[in-house]
Structure 1
Amino acid sequence: MTVTLVISIFMAAISGIIGGEIVLLGLVALPQMLRLNYDKKLAIGVICAGGSLGTMIPPSIVLIVYGLTAEVSVHKLFLASFVPGFVLALAYYAYIYIRCTLNPNLAPMPDKVEVEAIGWKDIIHGFLPFLLLIFIVFGCIYGGVTSITEAAGVAVGATLMVIYARKELCKELVWQALKRTLLSCGIILWVTFGAAVLIGIYNLSGGQQYVTSFIAGLGISPLQQSWL
């Protein structure tokens, strides 16, 4: 389970997409955990909780959409959510460790474990691209080299270069990536569009002025107004 959590952190730092990450972990990690007789509720909870880290760990699409909708700096949102995202991941890890320590039946150890030796070729082929993409995204954003949008474009270009270097680039792969991106982002864009329309109607009808005048007419201190 801890391996699934670590993978979800890496995927959150690379993609920032919540739904796709949860679906991918559910298709790849969940069958293996169930095959090893892990507790079903805890296994599903780890996948859902780990997949939701994409809302906190940059580059989060949710933070980008929220920043554009609320007219808040996306760069500042990324800076503010970086540490809490990893603190939340550590809290998940502590919860899994404590639960499995108190009740080993939740994640029983297999009787026989066969582990293949991992060479430098396997590390370069499988693990190094993850670190490269995370370094590029975070380096561009926190180093002030590019903006959020430009960092995403640089990450896409680096991903294509990695896929080409691994000799896996083909038309079918690009088409599937475009289609899945459209499905993931399209839902969020429609929700954002509906929220923007609702906020616009609310402001045009005088809702904001009404709430402001109502709170100001209560005769309370500014500190109490901030609580409201």
Structure 2
Amino acid sequence: MLTGHLSIERNLMSGILFKTLSVLSLSLLPLQSFADISVIKKNNIKPGNIEYAKVLYSGDVTENKTVEFISVLDEINANYPKLKKIYVYINSYGGDMDSGYMAYEAIKSSLVPVTTVNLSMVGSSATLFYCAGAERLSMKGASFLLHPAAVTNENSNFLKPDSLKNMQEAVNVYNNMFDTVYKECTTYTDTERKNILYSENGRALINSATAIDKKIASGLANGFSDVQISYYITEKPNQ
């Protein structure tokens, strides 16, 4: 099982407004929603007048929530022709590696420039899509966690040589994913990245000042930006 943080499991093989706010629930997938998504927008504003949008992503990085996130990005890009910037606020300790990379590519592919903001914690696989922002900001008290990918053995308590080999190959693939992204969005040296991705003892748990020094973040955010429409993606409560 391959994950970007310890609590997530994955199979190896596989006015702001002026007077009032309009609040609505939004299901962006045609069949079933896997995350709670809500939208708040300024009252009576037309799509053609929206210039700034915000997406808040909170919680674990999962496949289903990432699909919802990509759907939100696609909707924003398609529906607001005068949009100048999308702010993506992230609070996540990480989760599924493939999903983190999916979100990374989606942000990179956005026609509208995306500014990613560390709201409190950006850790593990969440660092992948944070690093995709054309501009990367951080709240002053926020933290970042860079560490190795991890595997768990769900099928058996006893490991055979081929199982160990397969697990090592999987770890190598996902650590290489981390390394490729970190090489682009940080100033950590090859040796520093190797140490970070080798063991939990070498992990980098850093504050916003160090993140700016290492070029993960480009600056500090001054609270939430004033936008005309906001999307919130959170964990779906157990039914």
TM-score normalised by L of structure 2: 0.24
* Greater helix proportion: 1
- Higher relative CO (Cα under 8 Å, sequence separation at least 6) belongs to 2
* Bigger Cα Rg: 1
